[in-house]
Amino acid sequence: MGEKDLVPKRRFQDFENEWIEMCLNELSESFSYGLNAESKEYDGKNKYIRITDINDDTRMFDKSNLTSPNIDYEVSNDYILCEGDILFARTGASVGKTYRYDRLDGKVYYAGFLIKARIKNEYDSEFVFQNTLTKNYRNFVYITSQRSGQPGINAQEYSTFKLFMPNIEEQQKIGEFFKVIDERIANQERKIAKVKALKAAYLTEMFPQEGETVPKRRFKGFEGEWQIKQIHEIADRHDNARIPVTESQRVSGNTPYYGANGIQDYVEGYTHEGENILLAEDGANDLKNYPVHYCKGQIWVNNHAHVLKGKSDLLNNLFLSYLLKSIDMTPYLVGGGRAKLNSDAMMAIVSSIPIYAEQQKIGQFFKNIDDQIEMEEKKLDKLQKMKEAYLEEMFV
């Protein structure tokens, strides 16, 4: 390794010394495996962190589904996390995933598929943790986890991970820098989740539920019951009107392509013009939040998506898209392991619709929420890309 490789590309001022290569084993007091215990309902005090409780993006403790370990707490103190401890996932698809304990997470026990590294006090734990988010670490995990069966990395193997260390002052400076970015990313994710939860609540309140003919929440100036209709009475199905994509269109790559689960990166299918509503015919991943997409302009659609268009004087297409999102499609699905929404079942779905002016109001209301979500997601993507760039430049 050349001398120029022993310092990062981007650095805080006043730091000049070369970094030193060390193994994780040299930085840690110990490595230990977690509890071999089942989880139980959260008792309000003792938290249990498992691989699935570590957020894939922020690597923070996801507390949306808190549990407690089913153990005798009097004899299990060794499994309580302390400030600066780092957890490593040791097996399965999540092998390599990490989490650094934060005292704000409270009293946390760690589960058996996790390995705890207790970082020595003379090193900055946050700096060590951020190293586990670098390309260098991902390469280490990819190479080390290879098994004839399920991927895995044990404590001895984790201890051999090599990283470069500056002096403690620079470690702390870099660690704090990335901690601030992580907090901004986490705040942005919470903001997006809040807006999405608000949208889900409005979808429940602003469309009549089963057996109802008026919604719980309504814009001022609109009264009267909504009309009960089947989809075939208010919308036409256009699957059979599609036009094959030409080779020149396929090469241009400027038209969005839709499949069963949303926008895809490749182009192969049939073109549709104008306003269209797309529903997955089969292969949908999330049945409760069934894939429904409002599209305006030219699109390409494959054979796994239905295409609907509201009848001109009866239905606003934007409203139709959110109406369909408010409906639980599960009762209409057929098939075994692969759920399918066939055309007859789709066209027989029973719904309620208001007058056209109210449809427009509702459709635009939800469109504004989706625009806000899209804007916040772009901010999140920008933060994540910024962090990725800094990780590349600020570590050796």
- If pLDDT is split at 50, 70 and 90, which confidence band does 264 have? very low
Q: What is the CATH number of the domain that holds 136?
A: 3.90.220.20
Give the strand order in the sheet containing 292-296. Answer: 235-237, 305-310, 275-280, 292-296
Which helix (DSSP H) or strand (DSSP E) does residue 357 occupy? helix 356-394
What is the pLDDT confidence band of residue 202, given thresholds at 50, 70 and 90?
very high
pLDDT tens, position by position, 70-88 = 999 887 888 999 999 999 9
pLDDT of 246 above 60: no
Going by C-alpha positions, the residue among 163, 61, 59 that lies closest to residue 110 is 61
In the predicted structure, residue 183 carries a pLDDT above the cut 80: yes
- Span of 74-78, 109-113, 131-135, 152-156 with lowest mean pLDDT: 74-78
The total number of residues written for the chain in this structure: 396
What six digits make up the tokens of 238?
A: 């256009």
Residues 50 and 105 both lie in one domain: yes
Average pLDDT of span 105-130: 97
Bridge partners (DSSP) of residue 350 are: 230
**Whole-number percent of the chain with pLDDT over 90:** 66
In the prediction, which pLDDT does 307 show? 86
Same domain, 328 and 348: yes
Element (H, E) at 100: strand 98-100
- Report which of residues 243 and 200 the model is more confident about: 200
Task: Output the pLDDT for position 274.
Answer: 76
**74 lies in the same domain as 6:** no
- Pairing of β 98-100 and β 227-230: unpaired
| 391 and 340 part of one domain | no
Residue 237 and residue 205 share a domain: no
Q: How many domains does the chain have?
A: 3
pLDDT above 70 coverage of the chain, percent: 86
Is there a single domain that holds both residue 189 and residue 99?
Answer: no
**Last residue of a domain, which of 165, 186, 204?**
165
- Give the domain extent around 116: 20-165
pLDDT in tens, 36-55: 999 999 999 999 999 999 99
Residue 221 falls inside a structural domain: no
Residues 42 and 158 in one domain: yes
172 found inside a domain: no
- 290, with CB counted inside 10 A (0-12, 13-18, 19+), is buried
Domain termination site, one of 127, 145, 165: 165
Predicted local confidence at residue 216, as pLDDT: 95
Highest mean pLDDT among 219-223, 236-240, 253-257: 219-223
Structure tokens at 252: 């241009």
Is 218 among the domain residues? no
- CB-based contacts of 341, cutoff 8 Å, min separation 6: 279, 280, 281, 282, 284, 290, 306, 329, 332, 333, 334
- Please state, in angstroms and rounded to a whole number, the distance separating the CA atoms of residues 319 and 377: 23
Q: Is residue 324 part of a domain?
A: yes
Residues 152 and 193 in one domain: no
Determine how β-strand 257-259 pairs with β-strand 262-264: antiparallel
pLDDT reported for residue 263: 45
Q: Write the CB contacts of 367 (distance below 8 Å, at least 6 apart in sequence).
A: 318
Structural domain contains residue 116? yes
- Which CATH number do you get for residue 8? 1.10.287
pTM: 0.82
Q: Do residue 265 and residue 365 come from a single domain?
A: no
Alpha-carbon distance values, 16 to 1, 12, 27, 123, 177 (Å): 18, 9, 22, 18, 18
In the prediction, which pLDDT does 149 show? Answer: 73
CA angle centred on 284, ends 255 and 282, rounded to 5°: 85
* Higher-confidence position of 351 and 2: 351
- If asked whether residues 133 and 194 sit together in one domain, one would say no
Give domain status of residue 219, yes or no: no
Comparing CA positions, the residue from 39, 136, 38, 69 lying closest to residue 96 is 136
Quick check: is 217 in a domain?
Answer: no
Residues 208 and 308 in one domain: no
> Do 274 and 375 belong together in one domain?
no
Domain final residue pick, 338, 353, 368: 353
In a domain, 171, yes or no: no
Tens-place pLDDT, residues 286-335? 444 567 888 887 777 767 778 888 887 778 999 999 999 998 888 888 77
